[in-house]
Structure 1
Amino acid sequence: MAPAVPSAMERPHFIGIGGAGMSGIAKILAQRGAKVAGSDAKESATAESLRALGATVHIGHAAAHLADDASCVVVSSAIRADNPELVRAAELGVPVVHRSDALASLMTGLRSIAVAGTHGKTTTTSMLAVALTTLGLDPSYAIGGDLEGPGTNARHGEGDIFVAEADESDRSFHKYDPDVAIVLNAELDHHANYASMDEIYESFETFTGKIVPGGTLVVCADQPGAVELTRRVRGLPSLRVVTYGEHEDADVRVHRITPRGLTSEVTVLLDGRFLTFTVSVPGRHYALNAVAALAAGVALGIPAHNLASALGSYTGVKRRLQLKGEAAGVQVIDSYAHHPTEMTADLEAMRSAAGGSRLLVVFQPHLFSRTQELGKEMGDALALADASVVLDIYPAREDPIPGVTSELIIDAAKAAGARVTAVHEKADVPEVVAGMAEPGDLVLTMGAGDVTDLGPAVLARLAG
């Protein structure tokens, strides 16, 4: 039986219902019987999937879209104060609920795993969701991307486990009280909200402090930020800390990662025994994410050998090194990477998988603030490719910053010895790529914005 829907969430209205985080919560509420409504800027497959669950989805934002009997309005940190539906909610006295509070309410009464970190959250949460489903545990989950298998970012399950991606970008992950928390890494990002690594550590410490008494923190033993966080929280009462990684002192120690084309074979030492399993996506960082998922599941009481086998069922998340297709002997792959660490990890993974093939990148920077702070590092990462096309900055929720353009990245990439071409119009990219690509090449569209739309267009142009 589905958990009862809190009265405040019986008739929710979501502003920006098509977003990855917002749509997931809306889907679960609809599956639990709530009368869900909302609006989004444009039509999408997500909007259609919500309608199929019985939700009312308006395209565009207007005060009239908010029903008078709405029990609450759900917003993310990206919604501006002058949004007409938000203004109307104030006029009607309808309570406004942040997305994180809505998600926290869905976890109530269930055993929960919250997955946090600057990178890798979506992949690790997805791995857990797929593995637990494969084991017949029927979990609920809310993820920041669509699974390749079930093809959705969220689901209400009849089991007693809830797996959620915990977003640190606006500190909203402080709202959760998980039984098990994963911290994959901690790096400086989201520069509009965090001014220093000290602020990052303080935020992750607060998140860790919300783990229920007797609960478990699963944390990486290799990444410097995660190691520092571990040092800071080890003395917390009633907290069990489990480290994982390649460090010799890790509680779940990675003994070996063996690349096998677009998969990896991973051997870990756990409780004095070696355990080997397959990760069906390429790259060392994805193998380590799988080990984090394994450690978290074991902390929740799931037998390690069962979970390790089930992790092999995970085949990927859309936009996380997702193969979009092949044309004229050229494979086109899509990557969500937008932070230099993510970019480097995905480029190294693809370089390893490609063998002797050339790697061409179409990169779209995401956010002016991130480009201002990390533009040089992004350029350095692009030097791992044989050639790159760099688009203008995707602004998302930000206003332009004077003097901050893609040229910061392009200049850094050229200084690092990279071959880079600036393209200002997205519509020109397929022709540019077609002029560069040769049979056997890999083309990687990369970024958190709408660069993902270019994969099919590039394939169509290559097909001719």
Structure 2
Amino acid sequence: MAESEAEPLPEHLGRVHMVGIGGAGMSGLARILLARGGQVSGSDAKESRGILALRTRGAVITIGHDPAALDSLPGGPTVVVTTHAAIPKDNPELVEARKRGIDVVLRPSVLATLMAGHRTLLVAGTHGKTSTTSMAVAALQHAGADPSFAIGGELNESGTNAHHGSGEIFVAEADESDGSLLEYPATVVVVTNIEADHLDFFGSEAAYVEVFDKFLAGVQPGGAVVACLDDPGVAALLDRTEEVLRDNRVTVLGYGHNDGAGEPESRRERFVAELLEFTGGPDGGSSRVRLHPPVVPESTEITLTTPMPGVHMALNALAAVLAANAVTADAGAASLDSLAEGIAEFSGVRRRFEYRGSAGGVRVYDDYAHHPTEVRAVLSAARVAAGGGRVIAVFQPHLYSRTQEFAREFAGALDLADEAIVLDVYGAREDPMPGVTGRLITEQMTHSGRFVPDLNDLVPAVVGLAESGDVILTLGAGDVTMQGPEILAALGKPSR
């Protein structure tokens, strides 16, 4: 997709150096800066497909972290960009930048600057942000809009995670992991769900939940909140923020099943979209949805087709349609039918129930799921995709703190698989914690859980379990994603 004509960048973003430029969020930011005429340099620990793509667009990228990387651009950078979680404060480039008096800023503040002047569609929640954001982009593009966007995953259609569009709409994930979502100007907001996570940063569930309260309080007057009322955390959030939303003239667009007959009338009145019926299959699903004013003049039913399996994806798609419709309200409103067609033709996001191939009658998928609720939802979808076959889960826990906090919940989720192999923890930004390994999870599983700490032993273990008709699912936010091709290659070898 061609980038649109560049808007002028603020002077301080004219020459940007990005530490960890290959990351999902940072690479997208770099792409938009380059499209808007900025000069970009950066560094990362290793080569990647994303880094190669940025180099072709003019970025100067160094592999490895070295103070000399700050001299990659003529005149040096006007600002150095980093992330809170992934890059340690003693990174040599950050130390050198401070020594030289160069401003060091976090990625969200730069993204917020790039959003200025746009109508924004921001997707928040513990789970489902990338899928919902991606479907909203696909829906808007199909309806003729050209939104700018920044997503935590690559759209399969365009092979990119960011784009500088010609329209006045900017679509982005609003990441709560470090509270940075509070920096973004919010016109239309989606909240998919709220469940304790990132306690290594927040310290308590109460502090984690509070950031969503502040986020909704910052929605611009006359904006909208698209909220999943099936989720108790979201319903409670709306109760807590009801007064401030009303005072700010923010419209609440609730969606979900609306089967809570015992709920207060005020909660039931928030529904503008009811999921009446969902029919799932191995390649996606079809939902019968009833829409109510103010989304439509009169209550009406539509069919919403999703190309990814699982009722959780149907709910995400419904949120995407509602939010896309709301954000176009003052920009030549797109028809609901056209938005829904965009969802139906959407081919997915890398690492979100991504089909990797088949061999020996076994299909292999890969998914980014790294929270118990996400693992449970994906395995439920895999059960549908498997038909009469078995589901074999290969799960890599992400972060020692998360593994320790949710070991029991991970065990319960993985029990949905017929067979489960649990790898050791992918520590990412954390140092190892004594006694915290993948075994914490398998010890609490009720059946068929096997701890495989050495990646060299994984492929033989999986091949030894797999039978024709099975579905194998690699799960986690770490390097487990690289195991799918290895598994396929081994499955495709003739048995001796």
TM bucket, shorter chain:
over 0.9
In structure 2, distance between residues paired with 1:196 and 1:246: 30
Partner of 1:258: 279
CA contact 1:256–1:266 (8 Å) conserved in 2: yes
Which of 239, 242, 252 is residue 241 of structure 1 equivalent to? 252
Partner of 1:73: 80
- Aligned-pair CA distance for 1:246: 0.7
- Aligned-pair CA distance for 1:305: 2.0
In structure 1, distance between residues paired with 2:392 and 2:376: 14
SS of the aligned residue for 2:468 comes to: coil
Moved more, 45-54 or 293-302: 293-302
In structure 1, distance between residues paired with 2:431 and 2:202: 17
Partner of 2:489: 460
Partner of 1:183: 191
Letter in 2 for 1:316: G
Q: In the alignment, is residue 305 of structure 1 matched against residue 351 of structure 2?
A: no
Q: In the alignment, is residue 445 of structure 1 matched against residue 474 of structure 2?
A: yes
Q: In the alignment, is residue 110 of structure 1 matched against residue 118 of structure 2?
A: yes
- Aligned-pair CA distance for 1:195: 2.9
In structure 2, distance between residues paired with 1:99 and 1:389: 36
- Aligned-pair CA distance for 1:201: 2.2
In structure 1, distance between residues paired with 2:283 and 2:364: 14
In structure 2, distance between residues paired with 1:105 and 1:134: 27
Partner of 1:361: 393
Which of 50, 58, 83 is residue 46 of structure 1 equivalent to? 50
Letter in 2 for 1:342: E
CA contact 1:116–1:183 (8 Å) conserved in 2: yes
Percent identity of paired positions between Structure 1 and Structure 2 = 47
- The 5-angstrom pairing of residues 377-416 of structure 1 reads 377-413=409-445, 416=446
Provide Cα deviations, 1:395-415, integer angstroms capped at 9, x if missing partner.
Answer: 0111112221111101011xx
Partner of 1:155: 163
Letter in 2 for 1:234: E
What are the ranges of 5 or more consecutive residues in structure 2 without an aligned counterpart? 260-267, 293-298
CA contact 2:438–2:453 (8 Å) conserved in 1: no
Which of 161, 168, 171 is residue 179 of structure 2 equivalent to? 171
CA contact 1:336–1:447 (8 Å) conserved in 2: yes
- Aligned-pair CA distance for 1:261: 2.6
Which of 352, 358, 373 is residue 320 of structure 1 equivalent to? 352
User: What's the RMSD between the two structures over aligned residues?
Assistant: 1.1
Partner of 1:61: 65
Letter in 2 for 1:256: E
In structure 2, distance between residues paired with 1:335 and 1:292: 21
Q: In the alignment, is residue 96 of structure 1 matched against residue 107 of structure 2?
A: no
Letter in 2 for 1:258: T
Provide Cα deviations, 1:302-323, integer angstroms capped at 9, x if missing partner.
Answer: 3222211221121111111000
Which of 431, 435, 450 is residue 421 of structure 1 equivalent to? 450
SS of the aligned residue for 1:341 comes to: helix
TM normalised by structure 2 equals 0.91
Count of aligned pairs = 461
In structure 1, distance between residues paired with 2:347 and 2:238: 31
What are the ranges of 5 or more consecutive residues in structure 1 without an aligned counterpart? none
- Aligned-pair CA distance for 1:20: 0.5
Letter in 1 for 2:29: I
CA contact 1:186–1:200 (8 Å) conserved in 2: no
TM normalised by structure 1 equals 0.97
- Aligned-pair CA distance for 1:53: 1.1
Q: Which runs of 4+ in 1 moved over 4 A?
A: none
Moved more, 8-17 or 61-70: 61-70
Letter in 1 for 2:454: E
In structure 2, distance between residues paired with 1:152 and 1:207: 27
Letter in 2 for 1:334: D
